[in-house]
Amino acid sequence: MVEILYEKVLHEIKQGNIIDRQKKLTQKSLYAYIQEAFGVDETRHAVLEQRVDTMLAQDIYLRVEIMEAKLNGPPPEAPEQLLPNAFVIVYLQEKPRETHRTATIPSTLNPSWNQQFPVAVKQDTKETLIIEVFNNSNNPNKFLRALRIARKYLLSLFNPVASHAKMIGRASIPLESITSTGLVSWYNLAKKKKPDPQGTIKVKFFFTSKLEKATAKHEYEQMLRCILEYELRSSSVARYWWAGKLTSEGEAILQQYTKCANLSAIEQTLIAWFVYTQVHLTYPLSISLLESVLDKLCVGYEVALTSDEERERFWEGARRILPSCLSIIVKMRKRLAGDKDIVKTVSSVLQLLAKADQLAARKGANLFSDATVRTLKQMALDCTKHSTMKEATVLAVQLGARTWFETSLSAAIEGSQTNEDKLRSLIKFVQLLQSD
């Protein structure tokens, strides 16, 4: 599995899709990074690189990234209503019904999209890619809107790509002109009965592996975990301190994979939850990070968790970090009064526990599984399968207070001290209790 992931990342680097000179992401630095992260030596790297070079064309998708455009029209200082609301439609000339559409960028002659779309073709295809830029006028007149809708319907019967929006221009790109290493180029936007280009559009092409959604999710999870564990080892970041920030190399590799795999933001968040709650057991991460990820999943629960397996894994993750959260509450008394870090951490813990408890109540899930209860009992927290989150939190507070009291009292009265020293220690202990 590691070698498969390595090949995919290697392929993206060789295509130049991750290289960024401004961020000092060169091919050399990225090669060094992935060799360390994936544990691949030079000999094996050479073998895998050769394998990537001979990757079969039928195992490839063409990715089309609509980057930006420079459109002709009224001057930029013109009223906003005169500037175009541009969007782009992408399709193969031979398959006009299979279209992709960008977002609409309002009121500008220089729209920027940076959106990617997959096109299932072979590298040696003779097909032609059509890129059309439209102006979505959004005319508020009700009568005109009704006419526009009727016209859109009639046009759709003959040309499914047509719409009520006014076309600005079109670019026709033979796919055989795109090399196996990809291409970034500006194209003129032509229009019938207009002798001059109506603007230009910048498009990036690159080839990447075909991916089923389930496979993509699994591979992204393995890749995220591999990169995260490597960076935690190499950076020696303090426990409970890592808050989601990877190096530029790690970020670039993961971002490119999510583009190729077409993973949505909420899908990435769910996978991050799976990985973070697993890694947290061996290398505790920031509680604020876990709380923020859980917060997003509480909002998008129905959209993010689409299968019974994903729902079960989500709740397993919540149960997995529950003992760690309660342990922080138990140990908070050991920290100095007024410590801002512990106050922030405890606040995040309480918010995380509250959100998990509320979501569990809505979905009928039980956070106190047999394994969780056993772990809590080992911590001297007398919970059961029927305990509530409030009861468990109160037990953690009581245990922490009792442990702190007994430890402080023992330190005050034990040791080879004179009676006068013991008296001073007891006075300090009483003052400590009063200030608590």
**DSSP alpha helices (H): ranges in 91-211?**
142-158
Q: What is the mean pLDDT of residues 227-254?
A: 92
**For residues 258 and 272, what is the distance between their CA atoms, to the nearest angstrom?**
12
User: Residue 23 has what pLDDT?
Assistant: 79
Residue 201 lies in a domain: yes
Query: Does residue 269 share a domain with residue 174?
Result: no
Which residues on adjacent β-strands are paired with residue 357?
A: none
Residues 406 and 310 in one domain: yes
pLDDT band (50, 70, 90) for residue 151: low
Element (H, E) at 420: helix 419-435
Q: Is residue 4 part of a domain?
A: yes
Percent of the chain with pLDDT over 90: 48
Residues 104 and 192 in one domain: yes
Q: What is the pTM of this model?
A: 0.70
CA of 339: how far to CAs of 14, 88, 293, 428, in Å? 49, 53, 25, 20
Instruction: Determine the Cα angle at 162 with ends 168 and 194, to 5°.
Output: 30
Task: Examine residue 255 and state whether it is found in any structural domain, yes or no.
Answer: no
34 occurs within a structural domain: yes
CB burial string 202-228: b at 16+ within 10 A, e below:
bbbbbbbbebeeeebbebbbbbbbbbb
Q: Is the pLDDT of residue 343 over 60?
A: yes
The reported pLDDT for the residue numbered 266 is: 94
- Render pLDDT for 267-321 as a digit per residue (tens, 0 to 9): 999 999 999 999 999 999 999 999 999 999 999 999 889 889 999 999 999 999 9
CATH number, position 196:
2.60.40.150
Say whether both 31 and 176 belong to one domain.
no
Statement to judge: residues 181 and 301 lie in one domain:
no
Among 134, 152, 156, residue whose Cα is nearest residue 144: 152
Q: Would you state the torsion angle of the CA atoms of residues 49, 51, 53, 58, taken in this order, to the nearest 10 degrees?
A: -140
pLDDT for 436 equals 59
In a domain? residue 223: no
CA distance between the termini of the chain: 54
| pLDDT band at residue 161 using 50, 70 and 90 as cut-offs | very low
The parent domain of residue 128 ranges over: 60-209
Q: Are 115 and 130 in contact (CB under 8 A)?
A: no
d(CA 113, CA 283): 38
Residue 152 has pLDDT above 70, yes or no: no
Report the candidate in 352, 11, 348 with the shortest Cα–Cα distance to residue 207.
11
* pLDDT tens, residue by residue, 357-386: 999 999 999 999 999 999 999 999 989 989
Residues 68 and 14 in one domain: no
Phi, psi (degrees; rounded to nearest 5) at 65: -110, 115
Query: Token pair of 262, please?
Result: 């077409």
CA distance 403 to 273: 32
For the four alpha carbons of 303, 309, 312 and 316, in that order, the dihedral sign comes to: negative
Task: Tally the domains of the chain.
Answer: 3
Token pair of 99, please? 């279209």
Q: What are phi and psi of 267, to 5 degrees?
A: -65, -40
Domain assignment present for residue 294? The answer is yes
Of 185, 209, 233, at which residue does a domain stop?
A: 209
Average the pLDDT over 29-58 and give the result. 84
Whether residue 351 is found in the same domain as residue 275: yes
Is residue 340 in some structural domain?
yes
- 388 token code pair: 């509530």
Q: What is the mean pLDDT of the chain?
A: 85
Note whether residue 433 is domain-resident: no
Q: Are residues 162 and 271 in the same domain?
A: no
